[in-house]
Chains A and B, each alone.
Chain A
Amino acid sequence: MTTRTNSLKTTMQTSKNYEVRDPQSSIETQTLAINVGPQHPSTHGVFRMNVVLDGEVVTSLKPVMGYLHRNHEQIAENMSYAASMPYTDRLDYFNSMTNNFGWALTVEKLAAIDVPERVEYVRVIMAELTRLVNHVSAIGFLLNDLGAFFTPVLYAFREREKILDIFEEVSGSRMMCNYFRFGGLRRDVTPAVLEKIRGIVNKFPAFLDEFETLLTKNEILCMRCQNVGILPRDLAVNASITGPLLRASGVNYDIRKVDGYSVYNRFEFKVPLGPKGDVYDRYYVRILEMRESLKILDQALKGIPAGEIMAKKMLPFVKSPRNFKPPVGEAYGRVEGPKGELGFYVVSDGTAQPWRYHVRAPSFINLTILEDMCRGQKLADAIVILGSIDIVLGEVDR
């Protein structure tokens, strides 16, 4: 039991519901420093938090990351542009399609490739399907941290399986899809697959309603999630938080609307915003976002045109991707991933290998404000707040 160090001397007025008073003034109690360590049932992968507890209340929390660092950016600088496409699957291994989308978009912006209509529609469909998969599993894992013994996760996984079967049929692998190519796709989508997607999209709202009756009005869930880990608007904007976290705090910023990249500006959908920005809002904003994605999928499935799947410009490079040499210059392409703004920054010096390659990972940036949200809350809440941020360590550590 380490006695309290003097580092807590300064009186910190952070979140309003608990102020850390100067310890020496009152009778000093022993604090408990515990490692919510890399090997812990609910840290969503290899992630450590050094938590200093006063009783059950968290006074300081230092996240420790880097256990899953695979040097992704350095590897990409020694390989051709196309060769690092399968590595982007491993960034946020829950939504490989949106990662591919981001990388393909960036290189298309760099080499000024225009993409056929049918490819744009298929990309939007695949991106929205990954958003469904990610949000459903994120809610499932949040409920797991709250203690519901695996039932919500398994309901979520039942729906996720159907979508992953679609990915397997289209791209060849359930999670490591490697399906997008610069200027097009690896393989065309057959009408049978489109039929199956339409079947899933028609049945998904019924599942969502059942999921909501199980969770949204559940008193214990409301007790555990409301007014817990409140993220004020200005802190969210200053810390450049993006994704459902930001929208739960009420900031209207969705890259699909802001950039309108690919064909998103053709679809009519709304962006849900949360009133308070606590764990409950993040949960409910994700459910509303799923309903919006279903609207987009409906419209995309209706409007998908026929046509070839690879841009004319890139046909010679299909057989020999490594001698694709984009012009000198730099490009930053970003995509509204399920976890936030997923950006790829690439600098090319005209050779076949990028000179500099950097990934803006939303989970990593969303993690920076974990301590501000957790200070003053209980240990049980700190775990739930971490769950509500919905991080994937592959993306955080790259």
Chain B
Amino acid sequence: MRIAVSDASFTPPRVQGRNTRKGLTTLSMMPPLEFIIKMGIYALMTVCVAGALLSVLFRNLFHAALALTGVLLGIAGIYLALHADFLAMIQVLIYVGAVMTLVIFAIMLTERFGDASLRQFNHQSWAALGGGILLLTFLVRMIQTTPWPVKNQAALASPAVTVVQLGEALLGPYVFPFEIISVILIAALIGAIVVARKDLEA
């Protein structure tokens, strides 16, 4: 994990650790800082899990939506921890900016008085819980046992994926999926408008 501390920021060059010319510092030899950052990420993870649980369990749907917004922001933080800066910003912009607003609008349009008092969960809640825990144990066992081909430590500290690389990849090898996505988005747009439009031909 490196802090986005480049030479143009407030820190004077002399004091930092080994300062590679690319303006990035590797802090392997500063254990306390690593410890703080590690604790930060674990805290963020627990916050996300707690938010996810809340968003599933809240009776009032509006509170569930706010909890989900918290989870999404947490996940953006996790992306930062994984050096995916661009993706974190995209996540905040699209999910929290647009998708959650849409969800909250839908909640507001469809909520009727006294909805919160109805039964929010159907009868299969226990079965679903059991199946879920079963699945979780299986997944965790699988994660711990398989030997993941993790790269060596030095490569791991390679710099973050810059926007330029992403741009070239999007319009280089992945140009076909990129065009298909735009077609899908247009289709979704038209579909949403046609379905939700108040029919005026009365």
Contacts and interface: CB of A to CB of B under 8 A. Distances in A.
Interface of A: 1, 21, 25-27, 29
A1 to B, nearest CB: 7
Contacts, number: 10
B70 to A, nearest CB: 28
Contacts of A1: 113
Q: Is the interface of A mostly helix, strand, loop or mixed?
A: loop
B113 A26 contact: no
Interface of B: 113, 198-200, 202
Nearest to A26: B202
Contacts of B202: 21, 25-26
3 A-B pairs closest in CB distance:
A26-B202, A25-B202, A21-B202
A21 B200 CA distance: 10
10 contacts: A1-B113, A21-B202, A25-B202, A26-B198, A26-B199, A26-B200, A26-B202, A27-B198, A27-B199, A29-B198
Given A26-B202, A29-B198, 8 more contacts: A1-B113, A21-B202, A25-B202, A26-B198, A26-B199, A26-B200, A27-B198, A27-B199
A25 B198 CA distance: 12
Contacts of A27: 198-199
Contacts of B113: 1
A26 B201 CA distance: 9
Contacts of A21: 202
B197 to A, nearest CB: 11
Contacts of B199: 26-27
Nearest to A23: B202
B166 to A, nearest CB: 41
A231 to B, nearest CB: 28
Contacts of B198: 26-27, 29
B177 to A, nearest CB: 38
Contacts of A26: 198-200, 202
A82 B199 CA distance: 66
Nearest to B198: A27
A26 B202 CA distance: 6
A270 B200 CA distance: 48
A4 to B, nearest CB: 14
B132 to A, nearest CB: 37
A13 to B, nearest CB: 15
Nearest to B202: A26
A48 to B, nearest CB: 26
Nearest to A55: B198
A29 B110 CA distance: 11
A27 B200 CA distance: 10
Counting chain B CB atoms within 10 Å of each CB, which of A1, A21, A26 scores highest?
A26
A21 B198 CA distance: 13
A26 B198 CA distance: 8
A254 to B, nearest CB: 44
B151 to A, nearest CB: 57
Contacts of B200: 26
A186 to B, nearest CB: 63
B57 to A, nearest CB: 27
A259 to B, nearest CB: 51
B10 to A, nearest CB: 39
A110 B198 CA distance: 64
A61 B72 CA distance: 44
A25 B200 CA distance: 11
A156 to B, nearest CB: 41
Nearest to A27: B198
A51 to B, nearest CB: 21
Counting chain A CB atoms within 10 Å of each CB, which of B113, B199, B200, B202 scores highest?
B202
A191 to B, nearest CB: 69
Contacts of A29: 198
A26 B200 CA distance: 8
A50 B200 CA distance: 27
Nearest to B201: A26
A135 to B, nearest CB: 42
Contacts of A25: 202
A29 B198 CA distance: 10
A1 B115 CA distance: 14
A27 B113 CA distance: 19
A1 B113 CA distance: 9
